[in-house]
């Protein structure tokens, strides 16, 4: 855990240990490392694939470069940041750091002119951020799939546990807890599939996206294909039509996809909070946990509350990323640069929320006694099946009769059965209604819960 409590973001102190993978992936150090690796790999790539145009490179020199790359550590970062403090340019600082290393080797020294050859800094940044976001999305997908697996498990576990539903906050046709969990699980599965299919894009085409510095060397070479081959090494797709920057539409897609997932999770958080408030679920007691500084009896649904708050922060960030990053003046302006540096925060708050939800879900258990009592005290919810059977039997004013009997009133078993016994309907229909209890009027809830797996 990061012990520096002077950091401005709680993601870097209070919650640091909960999102260690996300923090590591989106850190300044990680960004520098990716830039550094791309610069080394590009030099090797052009020398190996176009030795007659650039310069041949020996296996020994390649081995030195790969070792240099694999030895990346905090000392590299500090030295690069020192250079940047002079250059005031982050990508150029990486280039100069590599040049300093080459200058110490008589063979590599002859390759200095090929460091960062034919590139603009945005080529390095575009591919770097694509790799970073791809890896960050993979981390996020692992987290959200874990949560969805948990929901699916609860859907199956509680598939037959009927409870009193509420529409407009009022008693409504019963459902099962498992079926209600399956709604969230199905929604998440759809959005997870959409997010997993978004292709990260990068450009590698120079200052205004026209491959000027490469085409001037040899116009007969298909430089689009050449750079695409390099980009594919990083499992990133190429965007061939760009300005100086990749337009970030795919980042907007990713942002919007995560916003939709976040909204599903906000819905889940709020529903679970209300279920707990309404005593459908009870919270497991943790002996040493404190619910209030002054009210000893409190056991609070804080995990769901924390999740809701952090999901809101994540949404605010991703909404801004999607809106801002897709706009750039003419061939480019620099406003996207400072925004991209914050993209990890959106993932951080969302992943933190997933952890909170998993924690919250581990602390709840159905309050079966309360659920049973509530169902037994709300026979009026059977006005719907009563009306349905009456209409099926040809009674034209079924709805109006049930409205007079039940609207705004509490029904009990005796009133319910008395009404049925006075109906002029078939014995078969009467038996169906007389044997029906609120807990049994759950439609296809069990089958729906099973189908979410």
pLDDT of res. 402 = 85
CB 425 within 8 A of CB 393: yes
Q: Please give the C-alpha separations between residue 426 and each of 88, 140, 432, 447, in angstroms, as whole numbers.
A: 87, 57, 10, 29
| Burial zone of 167 (CB within 10 Å; 0-12 exposed, 13-18 middle, 19+ buried) | exposed
285 phi-psi bin (left φ>0, alpha ψ -120 to 50, beta other): beta
Residue labelled with tokens 């292709």 = 199
- CATH tag for 377-450 (out of 1.10.40.30, 1.10.30.50, 1.10.357.10, 1.10.3720.10): 1.10.40.30
Q: Which long-range contacts (CB under 8 A, 24 or more apart) does 253-257 make?
A: 253/198, 254/133, 254/137, 254/195, 254/198, 255/318, 255/319, 255/321, 255/322, 255/346, 256/318, 256/322, 257/191, 257/194, 257/195, 257/198
CB 140 within 8 A of CB 347: yes
Token pair for residue 5? 């409590």
Residue 168 annotated in active site: yes
- Domain 10-117 class, CATH top level: mainly alpha
pLDDT of res. 296 = 45
pLDDT of res. 390 = 92
pLDDT in tens, the chain (453 residues): 445 778 888 999 999 999 999 999 999 999 999 999 999 999 999 999 999 999 999 999 999 999 999 999 999 999 999 999 999 999 999 999 999 999 999 999 999 999 999 999 999 999 999 999 999 999 999 999 999 999 999 999 999 999 999 999 999 999 999 999 999 999 999 999 999 999 999 999 999 999 999 999 999 999 999 999 999 999 999 999 999 999 999 999 999 999 999 999 999 999 999 999 999 999 986 655 655 444 444 468 899 999 999 999 999 999 999 999 999 999 999 899 999 999 999 999 999 999 999 999 999 999 999 999 999 999 999 999 999 999 999 999 988 888 888 777 788 999 999 999 999 999 999 999 999 999 999 999 999 998 766
Catalytically annotated residue among 24, 292, 335, 451: 292
CATH architecture of residue range(s) 122-368: Up-down Bundle (1.20)
C-alpha 25: how far from chain center: 15
Token pair for residue 297? 């009896």
pTM of the model: 0.92
Task: Report the 10 Å Cβ neighbour count for 392.
Answer: 12
Bridge partner list, 282: 365
Catalytically annotated residue among 168, 241, 297, 330: 168
| Burial zone of 182 (CB within 10 Å; 0-12 exposed, 13-18 middle, 19+ buried) | buried
Residue 292 annotated in active site: yes
| Burial zone of 407 (CB within 10 Å; 0-12 exposed, 13-18 middle, 19+ buried) | exposed
pLDDT of res. 407 = 79
CB 334 within 8 A of CB 244: no
pLDDT of res. 36 = 98
Q: How far apart are CA 261 and CA 353, in angstroms?
A: 11
So where are the chain's domains?
10-117, 122-368, 377-450
């Amino acid at each position: 855990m990061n012990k520096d409590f002077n950091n401005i973001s709680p993601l870097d102190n209070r919650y640091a240990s909960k999102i260690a993978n996300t923090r590591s992936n989106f850190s300044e150090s990680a960004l520098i490392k990716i830039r550094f690796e791309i610069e080394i790999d590009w030099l090797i790539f052009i020398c190996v694939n176009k030795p007659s145009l650039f310069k041949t490179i020996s296996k020994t020199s390649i081995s030195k470069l790969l070792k240099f790359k694999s030895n990346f550590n905090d000392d590299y970062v500090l030295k690069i940041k020192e250079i940047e403090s002079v250059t005031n340019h982050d990508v150029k600082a990486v280039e100069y750091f590599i040049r300093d290393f080459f200058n110490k080797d008589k063979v590599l020294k002859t390759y200095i002119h090929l460091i960062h050859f034919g590139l603009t800094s945005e080529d390095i940044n575009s591919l770097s951020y694509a790799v970073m976001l791809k890896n960050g999305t993979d981390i996020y997908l692992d987290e959200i799939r874990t949560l969805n697996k948990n929901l699916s498990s609860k859907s199956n576990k509680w598939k037959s546990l009927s409870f009193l539903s509420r529409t407009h906050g009022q008693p409504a046709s019963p459902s099962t807890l498992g079926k209600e969990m399956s709604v969230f699980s199905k929604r998440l599965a759809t959005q997870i599939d959409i997010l997993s299919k978004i292709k990260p894009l990068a450009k590698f085409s120079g200052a205004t996206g026209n491959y000027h510095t490469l085409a001037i060397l040899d116009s007969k070479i298909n430089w689009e294909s050449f750079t695409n081959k390099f980009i594919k090494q990083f499992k990133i797709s190429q965007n061939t039509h760009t300005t100086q920057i990749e337009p970030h539409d795919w980042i907007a897609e990713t942002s919007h996809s995560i916003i939709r997932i976040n909204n599903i999770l906000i819905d889940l958080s709020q529903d679970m909070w209300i279920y707990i408030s309404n005593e459908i679920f009870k919270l497991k007691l943790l002996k040493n946990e404190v619910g209030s500084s002054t009210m000893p009896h409190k056991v609070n649904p804080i995990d769901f509350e924390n999740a809701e708050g952090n999901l809101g922060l994540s949404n605010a960030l991703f909404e801004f990323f999607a809106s801002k990053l897709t706009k750039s003046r003419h061939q480019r302006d620099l406003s996207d640069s400072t925004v991209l540096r914050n993209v990890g925060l959106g993932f951080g708050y969302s992943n933190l929320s997933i952890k909170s939800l998993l924690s919250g879900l581990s602390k709840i258990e159905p309050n079966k006694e309360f659920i049973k009592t509530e169902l037994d005290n709300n026979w009026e919810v059977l006005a719907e099946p009563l009306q349905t059977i009456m209409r099926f039997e040809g009674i034209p004013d079924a709805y109006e009769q049930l409205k007079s009997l039940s609207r705004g009133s509490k029904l009990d078993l005796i009133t319910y059965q008395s009404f049925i016994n006075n109906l002029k309907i078939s014995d078969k229909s009467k038996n169906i209604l007389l044997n029906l209890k609120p807990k049994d009027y759950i439609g296809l809830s069990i089958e729906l819960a099973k189908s979410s797996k």
